[in-house]
Amino acid sequence: TINIQIKVIMNNNLYKEQLINQAFNFHSQGNIQEAIKHYQSFINNGFKDYKVFSNYGAILYGLGKFKEAKNCFLEAISLNPDFGDAHSNLGTLLRDLGDLKGAEISYRKAISLNPDFADIHSNLGTLLRDLGDLKGAEVSYRKAIALNPNFVHSYYNLGTILRDLGNLKEAELFTRKAIALNPDFAFAHCNLGNILHDLG
């Protein structure tokens, strides 16, 4: 009986590994429908893996299924509280749901776990701007640029924030940098025009 139980456990673990590997492969290849099938099968079999819940949550978020996505992110965090991606994804979801303070908590938690991830600093910057904390947003965008010197949108957003703060010369500098990195960035050209108008 013991041998039979061991075989069942081994087969179960093998099936679990096959499911998770296939799900990740389909997801990375952009085959979302197959990825969904495998993630759902994994979860329906009672298996637990924080990356599966986080990835599946990201797909559900992309499909506009916010409630299910939120549950997946929370499950991922409960399985591994130190998984920064799940906190970051939850922050973006909460922001879209209008829970800006909850989003800020999630982003700050993600940053504490992944301090070198430029995207999260940029996302926090946008959130702080929406909350009216322009100085805080400025700090976040500067951090994002320090971590990724080619982060076009952070240059643009920082230029916008600096214009709002009345720091026009520096606003011009960062907006021109965004345009240098992406000459077809229409919003940056528009913002530059506004800054130059303000400068007289």
* pLDDT at residue 1 tops 60: no
Report the pLDDT value the prediction gives residue 78, as an integer from 0 to 100.
Answer: 97
Comparing 16-25, 177-186, 190-199, the range with the smallest average pLDDT is 16-25
Q: What is the Cα–Cα distance from 49 to 191, expressed in whole angstroms?
A: 45
Report the pLDDT value the prediction gives residue 11, as an integer from 0 to 100.
Answer: 58
Report the pLDDT value the prediction gives residue 35, as an integer from 0 to 100.
Answer: 93
* pLDDT at residue 6 tops 90: no
Q: What is the Cα–Cα distance from 84 to 106, expressed in whole angstroms?
A: 9
Q: How far is CA 10 from CA 4, 14, 91, in A?
A: 10, 6, 38
Amino acid at 121: H
Report the pLDDT value the prediction gives residue 5, as an integer from 0 to 100.
Answer: 56
What's the mean per-residue pLDDT of the chain? 93
Paired tokens of 70: 């939120």
- What pTM, to 2 d.p., does this model score? 0.86
Q: Give the DSSP H/E element, type plus range, for residue 58.
A: helix 50-62
* DSSP character string of 105-120: HHHHHHHHH-TT-HHH
Closest Cα to residue 96, out of 121, 138, 126? 126
The model's confidence at residue 177, banded by pLDDT at 50, 70 and 90, is: very high
